[in-house]
Amino acid sequence: MSSRKVHFVSLGCPKNRVDSEVMLGVARAAGYAHVDDAAEAEVIVVNTCGFIGEAKKESIDAIFEMAQHKEHGSCKRLVVAGCLSQRHPEELAREMPEVDHFLGSSDMLKLGQVLAGDAERMLVGNPAEWLIRAGDPRTLSTPGGSAYVKIAEGCNRTCSFCVIPDLRGAQRSRPIPDVVREVEQLAAAGVREINLISQDTIAYGRDAAGRAEGGERATLAELVQKVADVPGVRWVRLFYLYPETMTDDLIELLAGHPRVVPYVDMPLQHAADAMLRRMRRGHGGDRLRRVVSTLRERVPDLTFRTAFIVGHPGETDAEFEELCDFVRWAEFERVGVFRYSDEEASRSYALEGKVPARTAASRYRRLMTLQRRIAHKKSAAMIGRELDVLVEGTSDEHEYVLMGRHAGQAPEIDGQVYLSGGEVRPGEMCRVRITQASDYDLVGELLDEDEGERGAALALPPELGAVAAKRRVALRVLQTDGRERQQN
């Protein structure tokens, strides 16, 4: 076994996590073993987030924390990658002499050069050059038979508060056969839940990169159908849908396909017309109400997750009240609230009417309190229901308690189902009756069922089970409080 050891810290969104998993795969291919303790590592990699101010601060804090291991641990090389170094390469290089190499948001595979010992310090490239492929090395870090799959990179939107197009480049969709090939590999390794992600998932296939042979445009519905048809896949989940009129075929998949979960993640950002114009969202509140109403009417048992920004420049008390009224009307199952971050590179930075931080914080608390009451009502309504639950493993707080998720709970952000009675293994799908509910978490008892049937549905050949166990690591993932952790 190699004595070379590497430690990873991954910050930010699931898209960043996929990039970290690719770098993990590069490191493993180079003969490095991943270690949970940074003090033991010869190489430490920090994959940063640079989307908002709070995320940048957390990234910088993590870099300086890891730099201590160069003085007091085994670390010989510290590598900083991702959006923060893509956004501020020269500044970081000047202010952080402790860092040996900088990689940008498109430079995951360049880690191989770093580990080989013949790389320059500055390796930040063109963000438009990166698009993950099924043949790229990747080591999974998500628990319990779940994985994220990036279907595109970059974004063509011009939202005034967002700098993602600068950090990630224009939209670039992966060809459907390449995505399906990756999903087939994941399913063969024991993955049961496929979470499709990108910067702008609803726009999949609209760019030339996503077109099939012959010039026909690939569609999201076509991709979802083919992914759901991969043998072994039990759940397909969609993240980051822009609030547009969804096609009938996509709605039909959400409503009726047995392996496409009726779950929509659609960041709406606000509900007041004037605010949506300032945000350059390209629509008004009426469209949002139509989209929500259509999905509620046509998709049975829908779980709707969204996100809103409070404190954006120009937001008035009346506009915030309109947002609160909209949330009361829609009764979303999951809501994330973000306090506006004034980023110099964004169009919103130049707008007048800056909202005081104290006011934004107050609005954040009010909206979260409102949503918490809605979430509690939704959770309480689950008591007595029988649900399929994907088992993830033991609870972080109680080592003798198992936990998992039902179809209405996305990985890491939507709460858990804590299980009692019987025995199941991580990655198994089991039937559970819900007995208790809190604001976001549920408690359920395992129902008696034919163990042989459950095993037949989920059993893997011994060699594939070994592959699944070998591929996964306990990746240290940090999620900024203003983004994914305050999801409900």
At 179-224, the pLDDT tens digits run: 999 999 999 999 999 999 999 999 999 987 555 555 678 899 999 9
Calculate the average pLDDT of the chain.
Answer: 87
As a whole number, mean pLDDT of residues 305-334 equals 97
**330, 204: one domain:** yes
Give residues with Cβ within 8 angstroms of 215, minimum separation 6. Answer: none
Confidence of residue 460 (pLDDT cuts 50, 70, 90): very low
83 among annotated binding-site residues: yes
CATH number at residue 110: 3.40.50.12160
75 among annotated binding-site residues: no
**105, 24: one domain:** yes
13 among annotated binding-site residues: yes
Q: How far apart are CA 174 and CA 178, in angstroms?
A: 7
The token duo for 69 is 């291991």
CATH number at residue 420: 2.40.50.140
**47, 62: one domain:** yes
End position of a domain, from candidates 380, 404, 436 = 380
**427, 358: one domain:** no
Domain count, the chain: 3
159 among annotated binding-site residues: yes
Question: Does 298 reside within a domain?
Answer: yes
| pLDDT at 467 exceeding the cut of 50 | no
Question: Does 134 reside within a domain?
Answer: no
152, 201 in Cβ contact below 8 A?
A: yes
**316, 264: one domain:** yes
Confidence of residue 480 (pLDDT cuts 50, 70, 90): very low
Q: How far apart are CA 438 and CA 50, in angstroms?
A: 34
**257, 295: one domain:** yes
At 388-428, the pLDDT tens digits run: 999 988 877 676 688 899 999 999 888 899 988 777 888 88
**304, 374: one domain:** yes
Q: What is the DSSP string of 251-267?
A: HHHHHH-TTEEEEEE--
**477, 343: one domain:** no
Question: Does 140 reside within a domain?
Answer: no
End position of a domain, from candidates 324, 351, 380 = 380
**Among 461, 430, 455, CA closest to 445:** 430
CATH number at residue 207: 3.80.30.20
| pLDDT at 450 exceeding the cut of 90 | no
Q: How far apart are CA 123 and CA 108, in angstroms?
A: 10
40, 467 in Cβ contact below 8 A?
A: no
Q: What is the DSSP string of 317-346?
A: HHHHHHHHHHHHHH--SEEEEEE----TTS
pLDDT top residue among 146 and 464 = 146
At 22-38, the pLDDT tens digits run: 999 999 999 999 999 99
pTM: 0.89
**393, 283: one domain:** no
Question: Does 280 reside within a domain?
Answer: yes
The token duo for 349 is 């930075």
As a whole number, mean pLDDT of residues 321-325 equals 98
The angle formed by the CA atoms of residues 55, 320 and 200, to the nearest 5 degrees, is 50
| pLDDT at 99 exceeding the cut of 60 | yes
Q: How far apart are CA 286 and CA 273, in angstroms?
A: 8
Question: Does 438 reside within a domain?
Answer: yes
User: How far lies 97's CA from each of 28, 72, 247, in Å?
Assistant: 27, 17, 51
Confidence of residue 311 (pLDDT cuts 50, 70, 90): very high
Question: Does 139 reside within a domain?
Answer: no
| pLDDT at 341 exceeding the cut of 50 | yes
Question: Does 135 reside within a domain?
Answer: no
Which amino acid makes up residue 233? V
End position of a domain, from candidates 364, 380, 396 = 380
pLDDT at residue number 482: 34
Give residues with Cβ within 8 angstroms of 335, minimum separation 6. Answer: 305, 306, 307, 308, 327, 367, 368, 371, 374, 375, 487, 488
Q: How far apart are CA 114 and CA 198, in angstroms?
A: 27
Length of the chain in terms of residues written: 488
Domain that holds residue 254: 146-380
**156, 290: one domain:** yes
5-11 and 386-394 strand pairing: unpaired
Which three-class secondary structure state does DSSP give residue 306? Answer: strand
Question: Does 152 reside within a domain?
Answer: yes
pLDDT at residue number 485: 33
| pLDDT at 487 exceeding the cut of 90 | no
- What sign has the CA pseudo-torsion 353, 270, 55, 416? positive
The token duo for 190 is 């024991």
| pLDDT at 1 exceeding the cut of 80 | no
**119, 161: one domain:** no
**159, 100: one domain:** no
